[in-house]
Amino acid sequence: MDSIIFDLDGTLWDPVESVLEAWNKATSENSKLKVGLTREHLEGTMGLQMKEIGKKLFPELSEEEREKLLIELSKHEIPHLTNHGGQLYSNVEEVLLQLAKKYKLFIVSNCQEGYIEAFYEYHGLDHYFIDYENPGRTGLSKGENIKLIIERNHLKEPVYIGDTEGDRLAAKEAGIPFVYARYGFGEVDEYGQVIKSFDELLTLF
């Protein structure tokens, strides 16, 4: 193994409370929306791309209305995360410090452009990672973005760490091993290796 590619939400941090604050502020004046969003709503969308999130959370809107709303949500969300961050899982920086001594580290997330940058900006963790990718920049699926990271960084034996079935399938599409972060948002039935907390990576690797 020469490298580790991480998912972001549910793997490195829990951004839900911060995103909720930004999104509910942005949606509060939209009379077409039925109710305010809750943590349960957002947890049910983790791992999805923005268009899929829009369909799931705002089925009462037309496709055009959803697209406009998602743009508005991103305008609120990215600055809010940049200024307030999310909740890092226990010992994330300490573990990244140790892992970065042995492996090349990357992030591939199903987020919009600016989201990973906001994570970097607030928590100051960018120096641990060599490269990152997301569909907001490429328009590609998570599996294709993992392949892109592998190709442009000439990785030989990477693994992918994530918390959802979509993460497992993306790793399978990219042809690399998957490690299931059980402490995250999703449930995965099939996996090669599993961690119950982030610092278990130091034992695993």
Tell me the pLDDT tens digit for each residue of 147-165. Answer: 999 999 999 999 999 999 9
pLDDT at 53: 87
- What are the tokens at 24? 């509910």
The residue ranges of DSSP E strands in 66-152, in sequence order, are 87-88, 104-108, 131-133
| Segments in the chain below pLDDT 70 | 29, 31, 34-35
CA distances in angstroms from 118 to 8, 67, 91, listed in the order given: 12, 22, 20
DSSP category for residue 9:
B
How many other C-beta atoms are found inside a 10 Å radius of the C-beta of residue 28?
9
The predicted pLDDT at position 34 comes to 65
pLDDT at 31: 64
Query: Looking at residue 41, what is its pLDDT?
Result: 87
